[in-house]
Structure 1
Amino acid sequence: MNRSGLIELEAVVAVARRGGFRAAARDLGMSSSALSHAVGALEARLGVRLFDRTTRSVALSAAGEQFVAQVSPALAQIHTAIEDVDQHRDRPSGTLRLNTSLGAARMVFEPLILEYLRRYPEMKVELVTESRFIDLVEDGFDAGFRLQESLPADMVAIPFSRTIRSIVVGAPAYFEGRERPRVPYDLLSHDCIRMRMASGAIYHWEFEKRGEAIEIDVPGPLVLDEMSLMHEAVLAGVGLLLIAEQTVADDLAAGRLIQVLDDWTPAYPGLSLYYPGRRHAPAKLRAFIDLVREKAC
C-alpha cells in the first residue's frame, strides 16, 4: 500500500510522541528536513501551527493537541487494517525494527538477524541496542529481546535461549600475589570492575548457593557502562568482572581468564523475543517469530 497519503499525519504524530524532529525522523526512516517539510506542509494546508518551536524544544500547540488526540486513534486503525491485509502476503516485506541490549544483540546477531536477511533478502532489519528498557509501541519497535525474568506481563514472549549464566573472572596477572575469592564476601578485599546501569545506579553483584542469596556492592577502581570495555579491562588485569559466561568462553578455554566463585553463580532464565499482543502479527514479524522458535536452544 502506498503510504504517501499518510506520511504527513504520521509525521505529526511521531513528532508529538517523541518530542522532537530528530528522534521522530529516525522512527519513520526519514531525514529531519523531510520530516519538517511534511509537518510544515500540513500546517500550511490547515492554516494553523500544530507545534510551538524554539531553538531548544518542540511542543504541541493547543490546536496540535486536539489534532493529535483525534488523528492518533484513526492512524492506529489504519495500521491495523494494513497489518490485517498483510496476513495474506506469501513473503514478508518492509523493515523489522528490533530493540535489545548490546550483550543480547551479540547472541542473536548471527543465528537470527543474519539468517533472517538470508532467507528474506527483500526485508530490512533495524537493530537498536540500549541498556534501558523501552516501550516497544511508544518507540515504534516491532519486537525486542530481553531476559525472561524482566519482561512486562502484557507482552507475548518467545523463549530463545534456555539459560544464561554470569560468572566472575579475572586475568592470571591479576591473581599473582593475591588469594582467589572463595565466597562472595571475599570480593570486598579485591579490585572489581563495576558497572553503571542505565538508571545511573551502580550494579550490585548477585550470588546464590543452596537457597542463600547475596548481593554485594563490590569495590573497584573502574566504573564502566559498556560491556566490551569491561571485557578489555578484565583481560588487562584491572580487576575481577561479573560477565556472561558465553562472552568469555574462548578466553577461559585459552587461559586468558580464570573463573572463580563457580558454585555461587547458578544459571538463570535466558533471552526471550517479546512483542505486543495483537490480533495478528504482521507477516515480517511472524516470519521472525518462526525463526526464533526454530533456532531456540
Structure 2
Amino acid sequence: MKDRPTLSDMTAFMAIVAHRSFSKAAQELGQSPSTLSHMVRNLEAKMGVRLLHRTTRSVSTTEAGDQLATRLRPVLKDFDLAIDEIGALRGRPSGTLRINSSDIAIRLLLASVVPTFLARYPEMSLDLVTDGMLSDIIAKGFDAGIRLGDDVPRDMIAIRFGGDVRFVPVASPLYIAANPAPTTPEDLRHHTCIRFRLPSGRLFHWEFEKHGQSISIDVPGPLTLDSMSLMAEAAADGLGIAYLSDDVARSFIQRGALRLVLEDWCPAIPGLFLYYPGHRHVPPGLRAFIDVLKERS
C-alpha cells in the first residue's frame, strides 16, 4: 500500500467507532465533523474498502470496519502505554484515562476523587463513560471499570471504595396512606411496584435478607423504567413502591418525599469496586488515580 493510513487517520476512525457519531468524535478530538468525514473518506480510499455505514441518524461499522477496529484497539492502547511510560520518566503521569462505570458511581467520583486527581495531575485527562452496560473493558478499550462487587469479572484486580451500599424499597407518604405498608417481602406481590429493567433487557428481581433467610421477588407493576433516578421521581409522585440504592433514595427521604419500607429486610452489601486487568501493564495514570481513590475513600 503506497499511500499508507496515518496514526491521525486511525485515531479519528476509532473515535467515530467509539462514539458512533461524527459530531461527538469531533468534540473529543477538537476538530470539525466535516474534517473527520473527509479523513474517513480518505482512509477508505487508501484501504480500498468501505469502513463505515453512514446515515443522517446513525454511524455503524461495516464488516471490514469492525475487523479493523478490533485489531486497532490493542495497538492504540499499546501506543498510549508507550507515551505514558515515557511520561512517567519525568515523574508526572500524562495522557487520557478511560473508565467505564454506572451513572451513580461517577457521581460519587465527581464529588470527591475527580477534583483532587485533576488538580494533582494537570497533564492527565479523564474520559468517564456511563453506557449503562456491564461492558467488557478490554474489548472496549477502557483502562478500568467500576461496578458493584458481584458484577466484577473474576479475572480482574478489584479495589473496593466508597463503603457498603444498601438497596431499599421506598414509597411516597401518599401511596402509604392509601395502601397498608408491606411487612414482609411477600406482601409486595399485592402492591403496585415500579420495576427496573437492566441494560441486558432482564427485569431486576428485588432481593431481601433477614435472619439468614434470603428472598428474591419478581415484583408486579404496570410501570417499568431503566433509570433509578426516574424511579425515585415516579415513586415520589405516588406511582408505586420503588427499589433503589440508598444513594439515590437519600435526598428524597431527607425531604420527606419518600419513606422506607421493609427496612429490616435490607442489609448492607459490599459497595463499589474499581477493577482492571491484572495481566497487563498498569499505566501510570491509572496508578495515580488508584492512589487518589484510596486516599479519598
Aligned to 1:243: 244
Aligned to 2:25: 25
Q: Is the 8 A contact 1:92 1:287 kept in 2?
A: yes
State the Cα deviation string for residues 136-159 of structure 1 (Å, max 9, x = none). Answer: 232232222111111012222111
Q: 1:31 to 1:89 in 2, by over 3 A?
A: farther
For 1:122-201, list aligned pairs within 5 A. 122-201=123-202
In structure 1, list runs of 5 or more residues that go unmatched. none
Q: 1:31 to 1:225 in 2, by over 3 A?
A: farther
Aligned to 1:293: 294
Aligned to 1:81: 82
Q: Distance in 1 between matches of 2:170 and 2:76?
A: 51
SS in 1 for 2:112: helix
SS in 2 for 1:51: coil
Q: Is the 8 A contact 1:170 1:257 kept in 2?
A: yes
- 1:251 is matched by which residue type in structure 2? F
Given the alignment of the two structures, is residue 50 of structure 1 paired with residue 49 of structure 2, yes or no? yes
- TM normalised by structure 2 equals 0.82
Q: Distance in 2 between matches of 1:99 and 1:71?
A: 19
Given the alignment of the two structures, is residue 59 of structure 1 paired with residue 58 of structure 2, yes or no? no
Q: Distance in 2 between matches of 1:21 and 1:161?
A: 34
The ranges of structure 1 where at least 4 consecutive aligned residues each deviate by more than 6 angstroms after the TM superposition are 64-73
Given the alignment of the two structures, is residue 117 of structure 1 paired with residue 118 of structure 2, yes or no? yes
- 1:59 is matched by which residue type in structure 2? T
Q: Distance in 2 between matches of 1:235 and 1:65?
A: 44
Q: Distance in 1 between matches of 2:67 and 2:203?
A: 42
Q: Is the 8 A contact 2:172 2:238 kept in 1?
A: yes
CA-based RMSD of the aligned residues comes to 3.2
User: How far is 1:119 from its partner?
Assistant: 2.6
Q: Alignment length, in residue pairs?
A: 288
SS in 2 for 1:269: coil
Q: Distance in 1 between matches of 2:44 and 2:289?
A: 39
SS in 2 for 1:163: coil
SS in 2 for 1:109: helix
Q: 1:137 to 1:34 in 2, by over 3 A?
A: farther
SS in 2 for 1:162: coil
Q: 1:70 to 1:42 in 2, by over 3 A?
A: same
Q: Is the 8 A contact 1:18 1:24 kept in 2?
A: no
- 1:261 is matched by which residue type in structure 2? L
User: How far is 1:286 from its partner?
Assistant: 1.6
State, as a whole percentage, how many aligned pairs show the same letter: 42
Aligned to 1:206: 207
SS in 1 for 2:38: helix
In structure 2, list runs of 5 or more residues that go unmatched. none
State the Cα deviation string for residues 14-38 of structure 1 (Å, max 9, x = none). Answer: 66x7696649937974655444433
Q: 1:55 to 1:262 in 2, by over 3 A?
A: closer
Aligned to 1:221: 222
State the Cα deviation string for residues 149-204 of structure 1 (Å, max 9, x = none). Answer: 11012222111123110111111111114221111010111111111111122211
Q: Is the 8 A contact 1:205 1:216 kept in 2?
A: yes
Q: Is the 8 A contact 1:21 1:35 kept in 2?
A: no
- 1:192 is matched by which residue type in structure 2? C
